[in-house]
């Protein structure tokens, strides 16, 4: 099927082997989409990483891929952005299956057809940034990297796999990697992905990129003005949930602790650029932190009742560097603060986040988190886009017919 490579990479950590498994076109057509194809190949305690038919193409924000850790109702599964999914696809693989357990910590390098399993013993205890730098090694800047942080190594139940230093995999995915002694994976591809109608796809993709980049929602993602962001979201029927409503209330960057956006970056084939560095200008927690969107920090206000903007951003930074799911970590910290009767205490919140690294237990978040999208006009488009490998931030600017045409030009007709 066009848009797909027709191959999976199967890595057995116990046997220290890597082999390529062909996937029939009939299978790709029957199990279309990231979720369906991943579930098709997922068995027992395997880890499956899967891309979609748009992942790795030069469309608007074609960077989405899924991580699935074992079978069962509560098994970690979800999707994330960055570079890894696209780079894996450009190496020639629609996905990879990881099975077995290594005897000691290892990481996997994938450079087109060259696959290696390398020792990661020297990386024990290092944070996400340090592991990413070490694993990427001499690979080009555009290489995609997945790593776990200290939280996964120390048994935190809501540890996650971090994609390209910034994007959290599904809660518990870090623990699943650690159970296999897998510290990380780096992929760097030089291949191509064929589309059914190259010229038509190119024209549609470039038009979609332009529309996504010029949308009010995309422009607002780069603004520190939360009211602008919310107004733009509502204009495109993106419904802000509790955390995003708090963004309007909380991150209007109060005079006591002003915060500025000092850098914007994007994921693979990005038309928006929502990866940001925030500079806390003054106050106890001044300095630079990174986040794909500030509402990741606001969940800590919901759970811990802390009003200090700098402390909220620092709490998220601790999650990012240690590899923890921010929503569940915020719930864990909030529970600890309520038990100690010190909610609203910024220092106590940060201490609780640090405690979570060493064996934090799962606690269901009480607040809605992140972006929700209204079901009226864009839900069909969003479902199709994410299932095929496109970031939802780009998809909300397109309607269902535009996305169907884009997908058809990539995949081909039935």
pLDDT in tens, 147-168: 999 999 999 999 999 999 988 8
Burial 323-350 (b: 16+ CB within 10 A, else e): bbbbbbbbbbbbbbbeeeebbebbebbb
174 and 92 in a single domain? The answer is yes
Q: So what's the pLDDT on residue 261?
A: 60
> Residue 211 CB: number of other CB atoms within 10 A?
17
Q: So what's the pLDDT on residue 221?
A: 61
Q: Is residue 396 part of a domain?
A: no
CA distance 281 to 259: 6
Where residue 125 falls among pLDDT bands split at 50, 70, 90? Answer: very high
Closest CA to 304 of 287, 290, 318: 318
248 and 187 in a single domain? The answer is no
Tokens 């608007």 locate to 60
Q: Is residue 250 part of a domain?
A: yes
Indicate if the pLDDT at residue 286 is higher than 50.
Answer: yes
Phi and psi (nearest 5°) for 381? -65, -45
Indicate if the pLDDT at residue 117 is higher than 60.
Answer: yes
Q: Is residue 298 part of a domain?
A: yes
Where residue 259 falls among pLDDT bands split at 50, 70, 90? Answer: low
Q: So what's the pLDDT on residue 311?
A: 87
| Residue-number span of the structural domain to which 224 is assigned | 203-357
- The residue-averaged pLDDT of 206-223 equals 75
Tokens 């589309």 locate to 195
Lowest mean pLDDT among 125-129, 364-368, 392-396: 364-368
43 and 167 in a single domain? The answer is yes
Which of residues 193, 212, 239 is at a domain's end?
193
Which of residues 338, 357, 376 is at a domain's end?
357
The answer to whether the beta carbons of residues 147 and 184 sit under 8 Å apart is yes
Lowest mean pLDDT among 24-38, 114-128, 399-413: 399-413
The number of domains in the chain is: 2
Enter the pTM of the model.
0.90
Q: Is residue 2 part of a domain?
A: no
225 and 181 in a single domain? The answer is no
107 and 163 in a single domain? The answer is yes
162 and 228 in a single domain? The answer is no
The answer to whether the beta carbons of residues 274 and 293 sit under 8 Å apart is yes
Indicate if the pLDDT at residue 227 is higher than 80.
Answer: no
Indicate if the pLDDT at residue 295 is higher than 70.
Answer: no
Q: Is residue 182 part of a domain?
A: yes
Q: What is the mean pLDDT of the chain?
A: 85
Rounded percentage of the chain residues whose pLDDT exceeds 90 = 59
187 and 224 in a single domain? The answer is no
Cα angle at 6 between 4 and 10, to 5 degrees? 120
- The residue-averaged pLDDT of 275-282 equals 72
Where residue 262 falls among pLDDT bands split at 50, 70, 90? Answer: low
71 and 173 in a single domain? The answer is yes
211 and 284 in a single domain? The answer is yes
Where residue 216 falls among pLDDT bands split at 50, 70, 90? Answer: low
Tokens 């909030």 locate to 334
Indicate if the pLDDT at residue 232 is higher than 90.
Answer: no
Pull the structure tokens for residue 123. Answer: 């990386």
The CATH number covering residue 86 comes to: 3.60.9.10
The CATH number covering residue 212 comes to: 1.10.569
The answer to whether the beta carbons of residues 272 and 212 sit under 8 Å apart is yes
Indicate if the pLDDT at residue 236 is higher than 50.
Answer: no
């Amino acid at each position: 099927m066009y848009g797909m490579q027709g191959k999976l990479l199967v890595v057995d950590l116990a046997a220290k082997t890597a082999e390529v498994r062909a996937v029939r076109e009939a299978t790709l057509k029957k199990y279309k989409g990231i979720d369906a194809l991943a579930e098709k190949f997922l068995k027992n305690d395997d880890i499956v990483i899967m891309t979609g038919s748009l992942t790795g193409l030069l469309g608007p924000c074609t960077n989405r891929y899924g991580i699935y850790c074992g079978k069962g109702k509560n098994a970690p599964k979800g999707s994330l952005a960055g570079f890894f999914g696209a780079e894996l696809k450009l190496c020639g693989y629609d996905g990879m299956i990881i099975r077995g357990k290594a005897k000691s910590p290892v990481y996997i390098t994938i450079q087109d057809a060259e696959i290696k399993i390398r020792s990661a013993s020297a990386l024990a205890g290092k944070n996400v940034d340090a592991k990413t730098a070490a694993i990427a090694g001499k690979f080009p800047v555009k290489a995609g990297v997945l790593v776990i942080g200290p939280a996964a190594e120390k048994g935190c139940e809501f540890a996650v796999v971090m994609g390209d230093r910034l994007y959290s995999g599904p809660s518990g995915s870090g623990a699943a990697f650690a159970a296999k002694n897998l510290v990380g994976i780096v992929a760097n591809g030089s291949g191509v992905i064929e589309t059914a109608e190259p010229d038509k796809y190119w024209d549609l993709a470039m038009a979609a990129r332009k529309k996504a980049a010029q949308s009010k929602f995309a422009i607002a993602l780069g603004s520190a003005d939360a009211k602008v962001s919310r107004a733009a979201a509502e204009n495109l029927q993106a419904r802000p949930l509790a955390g995003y409503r708090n963004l309007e209330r909380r991150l209007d960057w109060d005079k006591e602790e002003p915060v500025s956006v000092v850098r914007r970056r994007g994921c693979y084939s990005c038309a928006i650029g929502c990866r940001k560095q925030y500079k806390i200008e003054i106050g106890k927690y001044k300095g630079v932190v990174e986040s794909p969107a500030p509402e990741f920090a606001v969940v800590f206000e919901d759970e811990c009742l802390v009003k200090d903007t700098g402390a909220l951003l620092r709490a998220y930074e601790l999650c990012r560097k240690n590899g923890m799911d921010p929503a569940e970590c915020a719930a864990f910290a909030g529970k600890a603060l309520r038990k100690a009767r010190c909610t609203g205490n910024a220092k106590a919140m940060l201490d609780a986040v640090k405690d979570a690294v060493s064996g934090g237990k799962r606690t269901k978040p009480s607040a809605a988190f992140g972006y929700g999208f209204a079901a009226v006009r864009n839900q069909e488009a969003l479902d199709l886009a994410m299932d095929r490998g496109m970031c939802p931030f780009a998809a909300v600017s397109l309607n269902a017919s535009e996305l169907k045409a884009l997908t058809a030009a990539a995949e081909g007709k039935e």
